Amino acid sequence: MTTETILKSGNGKGSKQAVEQALAALPQPIAAYTPDTSPVRADVNLKDRTLWLCRMPYGGSRMLAAAFCSIGLDTHVTPDEDARTLELGAKYTSGDECYPQRIVLGDYLKLLEDQGLEPRKTAFLLPTANGPCRFGQYVGLLRRVLDELGYHDVEILSFTSADGYAGIGEQAGELIRTAWRAVLVQDILLKLLLMTRPYEVEPGSTDRVYLECLDLMGEIIARQKIPHKERMVALKAGLRRCKEKFSVIPVKKEDRPLIGVVGEIFCRLNTFANNELIRHIEAQGGECWLAGVGEWVWYTNAEAFRRHREEKRRFRKEWLKTFLTARIMHKDEKALLEDFREVFASRPEPHIHELLEYARPYLPQEGAMGEMVLSTGGAIYLYHQGADGIVDISPFTCMNGIVTEAIYPRVSKDHENIPIRVFYFDGTNRDLDRDVGIFLELARTYKRRKKIPGRGKWSAGKISRTPEQEARPGYSPTT
Ligand code: SF4
């Protein structure tokens, strides 16, 4: 605001000097990062360092770590989160930060403070984005805290699609393809886990198989210097083996309410962050259908197409790049899901445009960004797939949860009053079982009266006899 504007708006009252003094007393805006001061460095040296990844979810990070290993980087997933994670996270934050930020910060500091990792041999992965929320601030805060504590030598690998993944160097293309496959493998294994575990006869048998499958698939993803084609053959063979392992887990027949799980990506996928909400739901008689990691990747792709359209860049170089990326992503997705058509026939993942269109009457993609759109569209998609209730997992104070919580009553009213509830998490202990119990009662009541039929459940152990119902809708990047 200029002095003239203030003088005009103030009806000419006050001298020019007084106004200038008042303006000078205002806090000065902090300059945005410049290339020199940015916490995101393009010349990160990962040679002779161990790269650490936080859990989102554990299995997904294991697969992603394997993808980094495939280009020769020694990469590991952070150990189990615990009270110390929260203690360290809270110690170096003010309380204004998001809950996921505290967990990530706490986990990384725990490695340095408690395990005494050598800073010169350590690097942390923390992607960034220019999105509408606080996620873009994570990396700056981590850098600041590390520097304040004297860990200047710790590197942060913080690539973003905006810089062409410069932080990874010349192997970026190879890594991105393998990482996408790792995401797909993670989503497939997690889906198998969630479809089987609630029905297992022997407690713990599904988790055991899941961990074995992570080992098996991690080894294939981590193989170095093999062509993409050869890796795909090995991945498909590995996944078939996983399918067999899950299919022989003894299961019992039970009629459980199907609960769709949407929400903020870190909190819904990191089981520590959400106090193992899914296990609580399973323990009280439900089965969960959780939105995976791939959904977010497809969303960023759809967003890139939207921006190309808005900026009238269709059929130009950038558009072509996005188009080709989508084609390759789709090709890999189709190949890896090919052997799971029957198994996932009752749990088909949505086409990203389907989600965006379902959300449109409430939150149009052009006006709202991020997970609030996906959670709203996802909730409606899951309703159409016969879910008996929707749970939205959100960090406390996260704007996504705040927005969706305001929208859900209307979404529910428009969809047979399907129960939808936001579960907030902030690291404090709470009586989850009571809230889950009440919610499942609502879901059971809805299940008895709903008009949309359920899709049934996959009966583990009877894969060959499950009829093929439908393949996942194909992806057309030009739509
Ligand atoms: S989505 Fe919410 S919790 Fe996640 S980074 Fe953004 S504001 Fe924070």
Task: Read off the pLDDT of residues 162-173 as tens digits, 9 standing for 90 and up.
Answer: 554 555 667 788
> Which of ligand 1's atoms lies nearest the C-alpha of 264?
1
**Can you give the residue range of the structural domain that contains 322?**
256-479
- The residue among 126, 141, 165 that closes a domain is 165
Same structural domain, 375 and 479: yes
Q: Is residue 59 a part of any domain in this protein?
A: yes
| CA 97 to centroid of ligand 1, rounded, Å | 9
Q: Is residue 421 a part of any domain in this protein?
A: yes
Same structural domain, 147 and 272: no
**Cβ–ligand 1 contact at 427 (below 6 Å):** no
> Which of ligand 1's atoms lies nearest the C-alpha of 131?
6
Distance, CA of 397 to CA of 394 (rounded, Å): 8
Q: Is residue 396 a part of any domain in this protein?
A: yes
Atom 5 of ligand 1 has which residue's CA nearest to it? Answer: 135
How many domains would you assign to the chain? 2
Distance, CA of 123 to CA of 107 (rounded, Å): 13
Distance, CA of 281 to CA of 441 (rounded, Å): 11
**Cβ–ligand 1 contact at 402 (below 6 Å):** no
| CA 264 to centroid of ligand 1, rounded, Å | 7
> Which of ligand 1's atoms lies nearest the C-alpha of 398?
2
Q: Is residue 172 a part of any domain in this protein?
A: no
Same structural domain, 147 and 263: no
Atom 6 of ligand 1 has which residue's CA nearest to it? Answer: 133
**Cβ–ligand 1 contact at 133 (below 6 Å):** yes
Which sign, positive or negative, has the C-alpha torsion 401, 402, 403, 405? positive
Same structural domain, 143 and 262: no
| CA 169 to centroid of ligand 1, rounded, Å | 28
- The residue among 146, 165, 184 that closes a domain is 165
Same structural domain, 277 and 146: no
Supply the pLDDT for residue 430: 75
| CA 295 to centroid of ligand 1, rounded, Å | 17
Q: Is residue 234 a part of any domain in this protein?
A: no
Which sign, positive or negative, has the C-alpha torsion 81, 84, 88, 93? positive
| CA 273 to centroid of ligand 1, rounded, Å | 13
Give Cα 359 distance to the centre of its chain.
Answer: 18
Supply the pLDDT for residue 459: 42
Same structural domain, 422 and 300: yes
Q: Is residue 383 a part of any domain in this protein?
A: yes
**Cβ–ligand 1 contact at 98 (below 6 Å):** yes
| CA 98 to centroid of ligand 1, rounded, Å | 6
Task: Read off the pLDDT of residues 343-370 as tens digits, 9 standing for 90 and up.
Answer: 999 999 999 999 999 999 999 988 898 8
Distance, CA of 103 to CA of 125 (rounded, Å): 14
Same structural domain, 319 and 457: yes
**Cβ–ligand 1 contact at 264 (below 6 Å):** yes
> Which of ligand 1's atoms lies nearest the C-alpha of 370?
1
Same structural domain, 261 and 154: no
DSSP per residue over 322-364, as a string? HHHHHHHHHHHHHHHHGGGTTTTTTSPPPPHHHHHHHHTTTS-
In terms of Cα–Cα distance, which of 464, 446, 466, 442 is closest to 454? 446
Q: Is residue 308 a part of any domain in this protein?
A: yes
Same structural domain, 296 and 440: yes
Same structural domain, 324 and 438: yes
Name the residue of 56, 265, 396, 400 to mutate for ligand 1: max ligand atoms within 8 A of Cβ.
400
- Model pTM score: 0.86
**Cβ–ligand 1 contact at 396 (below 6 Å):** no
> Which of ligand 1's atoms lies nearest the C-alpha of 100?
3
| CA 394 to centroid of ligand 1, rounded, Å | 9
Average confidence (pLDDT) per 10 residues, the chain, 479 residues: 49 67 70 53 77 95 97 95 96 90 96 94 86 80 94 87 57 89 98 97 98 98 96 98 97 96 96 97 97 93 89 84 92 97 93 94 90 96 96 94 96 97 89 94 96 61 30 31
The token duo for 113 is 């403070």
Any bridge partners for residue 333, and if so which?
Answer: none
Place of tokens 């609630």: 198
Supply the pLDDT for residue 429: 67
- The residue among 150, 165, 180 that closes a domain is 165
**Cβ–ligand 1 contact at 471 (below 6 Å):** no
* CATH classification at residue 102: 3.40.50
Supply the pLDDT for residue 469: 26
**Cβ–ligand 1 contact at 398 (below 6 Å):** yes
Supply the pLDDT for residue 461: 38
Dihedral angle, C-alpha 245, 247, 249, 253, nearest 10 °: 170
| CA 288 to centroid of ligand 1, rounded, Å | 23
Q: Is residue 24 a part of any domain in this protein?
A: no
Same structural domain, 390 and 273: yes
Atom 8 of ligand 1 has which residue's CA nearest to it? Answer: 98
**Cβ–ligand 1 contact at 332 (below 6 Å):** no
In terms of Cα–Cα distance, which of 197, 161, 215, 464 is closest to 329? 161
> ω into residue 132 within 30 of 0, thus cis?
no
Task: Read off the pLDDT of residues 443-464 as tens digits, 9 standing for 90 and up.
Answer: 999 999 998 777 655 444 333 3
> How many degrees, rounded to 5, is the angle at CA 142 between CA 66 and CA 301?
55
